[in-house]
A and B are shown apart, each in its own frame.
Chain A
Amino acid sequence: MDNQKIGVYVCNCGTNIKKVVDCDEVAAKALEQDGVVCAKSYKYMCSNPGQEMIIKDIKEQGLDRVVVSACSPRMHEATFRGALAKAGLNPYFLEMANIREQCSWVHVDPRAATDKASDLTRGAVRRVVHHEALEKRFVDMCPATLVIGGGITGLTAALELAESGNQVYLVEQSDRLGGNLANVDLTAPYLDSARDLIRERILRATRNPNITVFMNAKVESLDGYVGNFRARIAADGETVPVEIGSVVVATGYKPFDASRVKAFGHGTNPNVITSFEFEAMLRKGRIVTGQGRPPRYVTVIHCVGSRSEEFHPYCSRVCCMTALKYGQEIKAALPDAFVYDLYIDMHAFGKGCEDFYKQASEIRTIFMMFQKNTAPQIVAAGPKDDCEMFLRVDDKLSGEEVDIPTDLIVLMVGMEAREDSGEVARLVNISRDKDGWFIESHPKLDPVATTTDGVYIAGCCQSPKDINESVAQARAATARIMAKIAKGRIEVDAVFAEVNQDDCSGCRVCNDLCPYGAIDFDPEAKRSNVISAMCKACGACVTACPSAAIKGRHFTDEQIFAQIEGVL
């Protein structure tokens, strides 16, 4: 290890790092380290010229270890490993120091931040000395896919895969396909029938021989790894084992329970209904009050459960356009009715949505803006009034308190994560954010992949979205899967644990510790062995082995000890 040639590259990330961290100083200090033969500060290491610089130095200066001090390794480790490979160096001879997300972006004092960046870089330099060349492993890719959820997203994913000739197991928890969209009348902003959208897909899915649909079903367990999962599906009182290569989670959302907003009296006042209850009326073609009469005044209230301190902080995204749609559907059915639209902010962000907003104004929907975190109050009507009740609104635009006559109130309920989202997350081994939505691998660059290879998320289970976005995500996920299927074999990480047979005492402590059953005991040799294809590299056995016989590749004791020495 004495004659190593380490190159250190300190990224400025434009000004993202440089404005707080003195990158030149970090590079100069790195050059003082044993084994470091070149250290450079550069504006964008991840850019093509940045990577070319590393490749050129590896070739010309004979570098055999590379440290990149830049963003999080979760962002660009793969990029720089690629650069090493391109230069003919084993990609695992790279170590990154995170001086952006965990330094320049969280600190303001340039002196302290620069010192910290130097410490982290020194830790990386000391660690990389102990890195070993690792070879990538390849495993076969099973072309079948498990799709969880039979709404528009799950159906789209299933059809896309099946119509390309791949086997799909579609698991739906309820007794019908179509999800929440099956309860909707027309869709915004083009007023297409939701029934037409969904029914055609259900027919195609149920008739496709490549799709096995499980109704009233639940995925009981999921084991294995990308390309080689095994799932057990419980349906009709029996459990069906299936082998799949990928999983698409399309479990959707749950409508917000409007009765939680006490002021509106949903559930007790028959003239206060949710948007989904109103959709049912629209589908029947009969808009009536709780008293069975056609309403003269209909009030639509936005953001029920959404954009609120008390319930959900986020915007549910589809309610604004759905509310505008109601104005048009009500006016079409009851031309003399008045429609009031009470909103906090009008979010008309999608294609065709501003035009739709304009149409709603043209048919004389009466818009009123109210303050966030306040709710319009219901006030009883007198015997001489021609309405069921009044809604007292603090109209933000006129600055006046206005009582508006109302016969029927429609609450635009937002979306929330399903109650079983935690259970689903554990089943497929992915994470949830603070609101219960599943977390994607990268919010911008990798929106449908997750931290578990081979498991994809699509549609509203990731966060509220409209139909076109959900369909786009379903197709994005299937494109990712089909790319893997087309290759036939997939590359899996070279990081796993291995048992040194000479040091193993055969105590079997590790055997039960492995959550994946990846450690096998050979009774004749009285030694334990790691089945590398099943190992997910958590390192639990490495730490637990009393004989220190298990090595966690790429996270060895030597590497971590060296890094500790380096950062201090």
Chain B
Amino acid sequence: MANGFEPKIVGFLCNWCSYTGADLAGTSRIKYATNLRVIRTMCSARIDPTFILKALLEGADGVLICGCHPGDCHYVEGNYKAMRRFPLLKRLLDAYGIENERVQLEWVSASEGRRFAEVVDRMTEQIKALGPCKVRTALDFDMAER
């Protein structure tokens, strides 16, 4: 399964730290995996759990959420809101048998271009090892049982 499998990962990045950090990886010409598709939000607090579910349902094999480091949020404390929502979402994902590594939350500052590239590479490798996401199968099964 993992042979030649190229996962699609959707990334939700806050504008001020992580998106800027991703841009810095670019201006520094740091190479990383091509699997990530980035969607920009102003703050990680705007990243609605439904965005993540929507991405998984649309066929994403993984979802990466990135925000400013705790204490460094452009909007004072938005990243804490993202941080608190995350475990709740994880519980829901667990119930559907979606592996832990498929949805990850990482803090990337505007100066961490290299770290951003490392996060993307590491996550891509993890998802490759997991194979395609089976959320649709899980949902179909769930519907059939009802």
List residues of A whose CB falls within 8 A of some B CB.
72-74, 98, 100-102, 105-109, 112-113, 115-116, 119-120, 123, 425-426, 429, 431-434, 439, 451-452, 495, 513, 515, 536-540, 542-544, 552, 555, 557, 560-561, 563-565, 567-568
Contacts and interface: CB of A to CB of B under 8 A. Distances in A.
A439 to B, nearest CB: 6
B136 interface: no
B45 A101 contact: no
B98 interface: no
B39 A123 contact: yes
Closest 5 pairs between A and B when the two form their complex, measured CB to CB: A539-B46, A101-B26, A540-B45, A538-B75, A567-B37
A536 B78 CA distance: 12
Contacts of B45: 538-540, 543
Given A101-B23, A568-B8, A106 B50 contact: no
Contacts of A101: 22-23, 25-27
B143 to A, nearest CB: 21
A561 B111 contact: no
A431 B25 contact: no
B50 A538 contact: no
A542 B46 contact: yes
A428 B46 CA distance: 22
A4 to B, nearest CB: 21
A113 to B, nearest CB: 6
B47 A543 contact: yes
A451 B60 contact: no
Contact of A98 (B30, B38, B85): B38
Interface residues of B, number: 51
B32 A106 contact: yes
A561 B55 CA distance: 8
Nearest to B46: A539
Nearest to A113: B34
A568 B111 contact: no
Of B25, B30, B40, B58, chain A has the most CB atoms within 10 Å of the CB of: B40
A262 to B, nearest CB: 29
13 contacts: A98-B38, A102-B22, A102-B26, A106-B29, A108-B31, A109-B34, A112-B6, A120-B37, A425-B72, A451-B74, A561-B51, A564-B58, A567-B10
Contacts of A439: 110-111
B76 interface: yes
Contacts of A116: 34, 37
B16 interface: yes
A102 B23 contact: yes
Contacts of A544: 81
Nearest to B72: A431
B59 to A, nearest CB: 5
Given A98-B23, A105-B26, 5 more contacts: A112-B34, A120-B37, A425-B72, A543-B48, A560-B51
A106 B31 contact: yes
A450 to B, nearest CB: 10
A544 B45 CA distance: 9
Given A555-B42, A561-B54, A568 B34 contact: no
Contacts of A564: 10, 39, 51, 54-55, 58, 60
Of B29, B68, B72, chain A has the most CB atoms within 10 Å of the CB of: B72
A119 B75 CA distance: 30
Contact of B25 (A73, A106, A537, A560): A106
A197 B13 CA distance: 46
Contact of B50 (A109, A539, A557): A557
Contact of A434 (B20, B38, B111): B111
A481 B115 CA distance: 35
A451 B110 CA distance: 11
Of A115, A119, A451, chain B has the most CB atoms within 10 Å of the CB of: A451
Contacts of B20: 74, 431, 451
A173 to B, nearest CB: 22
Nearest to A497: B46
Nearest to B52: A564
Of A513, A537, A539, chain B has the most CB atoms within 10 Å of the CB of: A539
Contacts of B109: 431
A372 to B, nearest CB: 21
B87 interface: no
B60 A568 contact: yes
Contacts of B112: 434
A561 B47 CA distance: 11
Contact of B41 (A72, A115, A515, A555): A555
B107 interface: no
B64 interface: no
Contacts of B54: 561, 564
Interface in B104-122: 109-112, 117
Contacts of A72: 19, 23, 26
A568 B58 CA distance: 7
Contacts of A495: 42
Nearest to B120: A106
A543 B32 CA distance: 31
Given A106-B29, A557-B50, A564-B55, A74 B19 contact: yes
Contact of B30 (A106, A537, A538, A557): A106
A542 B48 CA distance: 9
A418 B76 CA distance: 21
A84 to B, nearest CB: 19
